[in-house]
Amino acid sequence: MTNNDIIRQIRYTFDYSDDQMIQIFAMADLKVTRSQVSNWLRKEDHPAYQELTDKQLAYFLNGLINDKRGKKEGLPREPENRLNNNIKLRKLKIALNMRDEDIIETMALAGLRIGKPELSAFFRNPKHRQYRQCKDQFFRNFLYGIQKKYRPIND
């Protein structure tokens, strides 16, 4: 799953306009243009398509956290240069103010059953022996569950 797929899915789920997408990036102190956002949202086969980097996605997810939860006082959160699905999952969990039970319910909406011990393994330190890597299929289902939870059914 590409970074572009992720922001497309989030945009669709929360029905964000281009202006709202630009504002979310700005909430994490990254200035982007409408054409940049449009090019990131295009399909891969379009000539104007641009790949969204991990750092740009980190800015977007940090901005989403600031948008949904409010900006924290002090120095802004420094975006990561490299993201994996575990970090993306954690950032979305924070942005949507989800507890473990909420994620388990969200996964059930997507047709996946997961227990608390399996879920907590995704949020452990990578050096911990119980750490588990979040695979694309799990993350894709998580995004689908979020869509089912937050996007009205009649759309």
SS (H, E, C) 43-84: CCCCCCCCCCCHHHHHHHHHHHHHHHHCCCCCCCCCCCCCCC
| pLDDT number for residue 38 | 96
User: What are the extents of the domains in the chain?
Assistant: 3-69, 85-150
The most distant pair of C-alpha atoms in the chain lies apart, rounded to whole Å, by 45
pLDDT tens for each residue of 68-113 = 988 887 777 788 999 999 999 999 999 999 999 999 999 999 999 9
Average pLDDT value for the chain: 93
- Of 34, 51, 31, nearest to 43 by C-alpha is 51
| pLDDT number for residue 51 | 97
Q: Model pTM? A: 0.92
What length is written for the chain? 155
pLDDT tens for each residue of 11-57 = 999 999 999 999 999 999 999 999 999 999 999 999 999 999 999 99
CB 134 within 8 A of CB 93: no
Cα–Cα distance measured from residue 25 to residue 60, given in angstroms and rounded to the nearest whole number? 5
| pLDDT number for residue 155 | 47
pLDDT tens for each residue of 128-139 = 999 999 999 999
Residue 152 has pLDDT above 70, yes or no: no
Residue 154 has pLDDT above 60, yes or no: no
152 or 118: which leads in pLDDT: 118
CA 151 to chain centre: 15
Cα–Cα distance measured from residue 67 to residue 148, given in angstroms and rounded to the nearest whole number? 21
